[in-house]
Structure 1
Amino acid sequence: MNKLGLHANVWVAGWSEDEAALAIAKTAETGFDLIEIPALDAGRLRPAETRKRLDAAGIGCTLSLGLDAGTDISSGDPALMKAGEDKLRTTLSVARDLGATHVCGILYSAFQKYFEPPTQAGIEASAEVMSRVAGYAAENGITLGMEVVNRYESNVLNTAAQAVAYCRMVDAPNVKVHLDAYHMHIEEPNPVEAIRATGADLGYFHTGESHRGYIGSGSIDHAGLFRALVESGYDGPITYESFSSEVVGQPLTGILGIWRNTWTDGEDLARHALGFTHAQLKAARETVQRSSGFTEMEV
């Protein structure tokens, strides 16, 4: 059964003591199974304190981050690659102490707009670093999710097919594809078919909307996406991600281009997202089951 998660930026911009307390309490109160904690700077997450709050609230966590220009493991620069590997290992140590099951995001390059296409050598260098990092993650029971993002946030993995090829290159069972409805809506010719083609390589999924606001109020075919997830047998986390200038601050505001209030009430947004996700999953499961029954009868 899929665990349902919520991105912490629905509640808070950072992770101060008060912000952590609020985000964890509200996520649990709303009914989610886990909270996705941004870890651009994992050293600020205070793992011992945060773990106690998570345990008390009865929810789990995942971490997400993107590397930056100074830690870009796809650069081919040995110094930057070492810095990137060190950052990933530090984040994994914090994730272990938090009891996180997944560390996801733009782990394979910098989280930025590039002005040149990636080189094959750079992609191979990234995969080489990731294969070493994957071993450390596996020792701590952590799955790594390579998030497929739009062309303005990375030049390495913009489609599900590219991510599958990258994971094959890394060749580690705990390195999976992380798909995101928002990014797929921009880059994939057919997001539903992309999910089906990813199949067992899918390890983490972000729901969201085309305009980053209330799920179901934009142009994404959620019914199709959820049906593809069910048809593929995907049983990993499904985490809702949404951003508004009401909450999010720098550096994410600038990197993601969050220039307006896509919503003003995070609690209403979160409750709506949870109900919407439950409804879509139920409908998808019933549709797939019914289709399967018809197929068996016809045979």
Structure 2
Amino acid sequence: MNALGVHALVWVGSTTPAEVEQAVAKTKAAGYDLLEFSLHDGLTMDVAHARGVLDAAGLQVACSRGLAPDADVSSEDPAVVARGADLLSKSLEITAGLGGKMFAGALYSAFGKASQPLSAKGRANVVGVLQDLAKQAAADDITLMLEICNRYETNVINTAHDALLLADDIGADNVKIHLDTYHMNIEEADMVRPVREVGDRLGYVHIGENHRGYLGSGHIDFNAFFHALADIDYTGPITFESFSSAVVAPGLSNDLAIWRNLWSDGEDLAKHAHAYLTNGLSAARHP
């Protein structure tokens, strides 16, 4: 059975102690196994407090992030690359401090539309930084998950095939592929072949509708995707990710272009998603 997760932005916009407590309580009440925190807006979490709350609730945790233009490891500027590498290292330390075993997201570039294609030098910088990060992660038994994002959010990897090539060049056993149905809907030809191409190198999954709202209210073929996961016997985490202007994270909401309310009740949304995932995954395992 897959651990089912939910993104903290379904509940709260930041990681203050009170908001962490709220996110943990609501995640547990909605029946999830895992809570994902974005470290995109900073490194200010009270890690010891958060770990205590997570442990008390019996929840797994994952962390994710992207990078800013002044800390872009795909840059050709050594100072910019160094800032990005330092930010990734500190984010990995937070993940370890929380007891997490998964550090996911766009770990390879600034988050946002690039003005030109990725250069060979920029790609080489990505590989070098992530090779070092993978060594740091291995010391704490953490796996890096390369999230494949759409062309309007990165110029480094946009498809499953791109991600596999990058992971091959990094060459570390603790670097896996992170598929996200929202991004797949934009970049992939269908929802099946990328899953099969990634196969046993799939480490993490984000489930999100094409408009990031209620599952089933858009046009993504989740039935085909769930069957593809069953075909490769994927047993890793599956985390529901949804954003609305009802919950605002000052930096991330703007970066993700969350301009409208796709939902206003996070509890109803999360409970609906849990049932949708449970039923869809179960059906796919029993065709």
TM-score above 0.5, yes or no: yes
> Post-superposition shift, 1:42?
5.1
> Post-superposition shift, 1:82?
1.2
Per-residue Cα deviation, 1:216-244 (whole angstroms, up to 9, x for no partner): 11000000001111111211110000000
Contact 1:212/1:242 (CA < 8 Å) preserved in 2?
Answer: yes
Aligned to 1:81: 81
1:171 matched to 2:158:
no
Counterpart CA distance in 2 for 1:17 and 1:111 is 27
Aligned to 1:261: 261
Within-5 A mapping of 1:60-209: 60-209=60-209
Contact 1:112/1:255 (CA < 8 Å) preserved in 2?
Answer: yes
> Post-superposition shift, 1:95?
0.8
Contact 2:41/2:251 (CA < 8 Å) preserved in 1?
Answer: no
1:25 matched to 2:25:
yes
Aligned to 1:279: 279
Identity %: 46
Counterpart CA distance in 1 for 2:120 and 2:275 is 43
Q: Compare 41-50 and 94-103 and name the one that shifted more.
A: 41-50
> Post-superposition shift, 1:178?
0.6
> Post-superposition shift, 1:253?
2.0
Gaps of 5+ in 2: none
> Post-superposition shift, 1:41?
4.5
Contact 2:9/2:249 (CA < 8 Å) preserved in 1?
Answer: no
Give 1 or 2: higher helix fraction: 1
TM-score with structure 2 setting the length: 0.98
> Post-superposition shift, 1:100?
0.6
Q: Secondary structure at the match of 1:43?
A: coil
> Post-superposition shift, 1:199?
0.8
Letter in 2 for 1:192: V
Counterpart CA distance in 1 for 2:52 and 2:249 is 26
Per-residue Cα deviation, 1:68-97 (whole angstroms, up to 9, x for no partner): 111111112111111111111111111111
Counterpart CA distance in 2 for 1:249 and 1:23 is 14
Contact 1:149/1:157 (CA < 8 Å) preserved in 2?
Answer: yes
Within-5 A mapping of 1:232-243: 232-243=232-243
Counterpart CA distance in 2 for 1:240 and 1:286 is 22
Distance 1:141 1:41, change over 3 A: farther
Letter in 2 for 1:136: Q
Counterpart CA distance in 1 for 2:102 and 2:76 is 26
Count how many residue pairs are aligned between Structure 1 and Structure 2: 287
Decide which structure has the larger Cα Rg and report it: 1
Per-residue Cα deviation, 1:252-272 (whole angstroms, up to 9, x for no partner): 222111111000110000000
Gaps of 5+ in 1: 288-299
Counterpart CA distance in 2 for 1:225 and 1:31 is 22
Counterpart CA distance in 1 for 2:162 and 2:10 is 29
Per-residue Cα deviation, 1:1-39 (whole angstroms, up to 9, x for no partner): 311100000000111121111001100111100100011
> Post-superposition shift, 1:121?
2.1
Contact 2:41/2:252 (CA < 8 Å) preserved in 1?
Answer: no
Moved over 3 A (4+): none
Aligned to 2:9: 9
Counterpart CA distance in 2 for 1:71 and 1:155 is 15
Contact 1:42/1:90 (CA < 8 Å) preserved in 2?
Answer: no
> Post-superposition shift, 1:40?
1.7
Aligned to 1:297: none
